[in-house]
């Protein structure tokens, strides 16, 4: 079947845990818009790539049919708990695992009770699919994979989803500029850490909207270093890989700070 939706979402738990904070309300509303668009797209499966699920050996894919529990973020524990309940499309995950050796990547399935699902995955699925309607495929961020390899993994996941006849949505979970405040702040006073970071983020969002993939890739290479971008924007690489020739542009549904860092909800145009 086909790619029916694609998004970038931040993965910070702050808007989910403290939706009443005015400065984070825009991101909450943007997630609601994205959730509505996702429902309209009627996906069979959500393919998730989160910068916060770190791997160093092999590429990891969640293969436990159902993962449930309560997660407490290691930084923002005082704001509350993060319950989760995810159904995994194990057939698609297994297909991805079996396909990656062709990229020179060894993959492993993760099927363990109590495995720590990362904050970004939980936040994104809670915002975009609060009723737990869609199964997911979750891919780890191997720290040794560069932009190109990550883009190839996104393309591979999309190809396997298409091969299996899925209507699939791809969601890259991660932030924009990465400078966080090093001291405690009142949430209401949150803002992007610097005007330079803000300007860089705005440029990135404009480039995303323009739909020129080579220009976007060239920009991100500099942006990632200048803005200390979250994991070099590998979540964007994964989505661009999945989109392939289908990338034509994007709309920013919401943009704002997450404790000084940049956060955006972006819907790709299909």
Q: For residues 182 and 245, which CB has a smaller minimum distance to another protein in the complex? A: 182
- Listed residue (234, 238, 230) closest to 262, CA to CA: 230
- Rounded Cα gap, residues 135 and 12, in angstroms: 22
Q: For residues 109 and 244, which CB has a smaller minimum distance to another protein in the complex? A: 109
Q: For residues 17 and 204, which CB has a smaller minimum distance to another protein in the complex? A: 17
In angstroms, what is the minimal distance from the CB of 172 to another protein? 20
Instruction: By CB under 8 A, name the one of 1, 36, 66, 75 that touches another protein.
Output: 75
Instruction: By CB under 8 A, name the one of 1, 42, 101, 112 that touches another protein.
Output: 112
The HSE-up count of residue 200 (CA atoms within 13 Å, CB side) is 25
- Looking at residues 155 to 194 of the shown chain, list those that interact with another protein (rule: CB under 8 A): 180-184
Q: Which helix (H) or strand (E) holds 242?
A: helix 234-243
Q: Does 148 interact with another protein (rule: CB under 8 A)?
A: no
Q: For residues 144 and 245, which CB has a smaller minimum distance to another protein in the complex? A: 144
> Among the candidate windows 33-41, 75-83, 168-176, 206-214, which touches another protein by CB under 8 A?
75-83
Instruction: By CB under 8 A, name the one of 20, 40, 104, 113 that touches another protein.
Output: 113
Q: Does 221 interact with another protein (rule: CB under 8 A)?
A: no
Q: How many CB atoms lie within 10 A of CB 31?
A: 25
- Rounded Cα gap, residues 9 and 112, in angstroms: 26
The HSE-up count of residue 109 (CA atoms within 13 Å, CB side) is 19
In angstroms, what is the minimal distance from the CB of 116 to another protein? 5
Alpha helices per DSSP H over 118-226: 119-128, 147-163, 195-210, 213-226
Q: For residues 118 and 129, which CB has a smaller minimum distance to another protein in the complex? A: 118
Q: Does 66 interact with another protein (rule: CB under 8 A)?
A: no
Q: Does 236 interact with another protein (rule: CB under 8 A)?
A: no
Alpha helices per DSSP H over 49-146: 90-99, 119-128
**CA end-to-end span of the chain:** 14
Q: Does 104 interact with another protein (rule: CB under 8 A)?
A: no
Instruction: By CB under 8 A, name the one of 8, 28, 93, 110 that touches another protein.
Output: 110
The HSE-up count of residue 254 (CA atoms within 13 Å, CB side) is 22
- Rounded Cα gap, residues 216 and 2, in angstroms: 24
Q: For residues 56 and 131, which CB has a smaller minimum distance to another protein in the complex? A: 56
Q: Does 72 interact with another protein (rule: CB under 8 A)?
A: yes
- Spatial CB neighbours of 266, under 8 Å, sequence gap ≥ 6: 7, 8, 9, 205, 208, 250, 251, 252, 253
In angstroms, what is the minimal distance from the CB of 163 to another protein? 27
Instruction: By CB under 8 A, name the one of 40, 74, 186, 245 that touches another protein.
Output: 74
Q: Does 70 interact with another protein (rule: CB under 8 A)?
A: yes
Q: How many CB atoms lie within 10 A of CB 6?
A: 27
Q: Which helix (H) or strand (E) holds 48?
A: strand 45-55
Q: How many CB atoms lie within 10 A of CB 222?
A: 11
Catalog residues that contact another protein under the rule CB under 8 A. Answer: 53-58, 70-72, 74-75, 77-78, 81, 106, 110, 112-116, 118, 144, 180-184, 259
């Amino acid at each position: 079947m086909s790619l029916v939706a694609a998004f970038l979402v931040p993965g910070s738990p702050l808007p989910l845990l403290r939706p009443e904070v005015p400065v984070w309300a825009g991101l909450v509303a943007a997630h609601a818009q994205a959730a509505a668009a996702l429902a309209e797209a009627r996906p069979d499966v959500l393919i998730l790539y989160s910068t916060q699920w770190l791997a160093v050996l092999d590429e990891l894919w969640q293969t436990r049919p159902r993962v449930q529990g309560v997660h407490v973020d290691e930084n923002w524990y005082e704001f509350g708990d993060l319950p989760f309940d995810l159904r995994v499309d194990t057939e698609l995950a297994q297909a991805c695992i079996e396909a990656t050796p062709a990229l020179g990547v060894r993959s492993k399935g993760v099927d363990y009770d109590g495995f720590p699902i990362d904050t970004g995955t939980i936040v994104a699925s809670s915002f975009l699919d609060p009723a737990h309607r869609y199964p997911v495929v979750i891919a780890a961020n191997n720290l040794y994979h560069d932009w190109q390899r990550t883009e190839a993994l996104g393309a591979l996941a999309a190809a396997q989803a298409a091969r299996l006849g899925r209507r699939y949505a791809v969601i890259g979970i991660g932030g924009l500029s990465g400078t966080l405040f090093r001291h405690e702040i009142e949430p209401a006073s949150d803002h992007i850490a610097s005007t330079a970071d803000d300007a860089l983020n705005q440029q990135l969002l404009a480039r995303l909207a323009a739909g020129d993939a080579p220009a976007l890739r060239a920009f991100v290479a500099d942006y990632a270093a200048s803005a200390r971008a979250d994991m070099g924007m590998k979540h964007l690489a994964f989505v661009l890989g999945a989109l392939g020739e289908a990338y034509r542009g994007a709309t920013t549904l919401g943009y704002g700070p997450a404790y000084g860092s940049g956060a955006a909800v972006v819907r790709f145009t299909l």
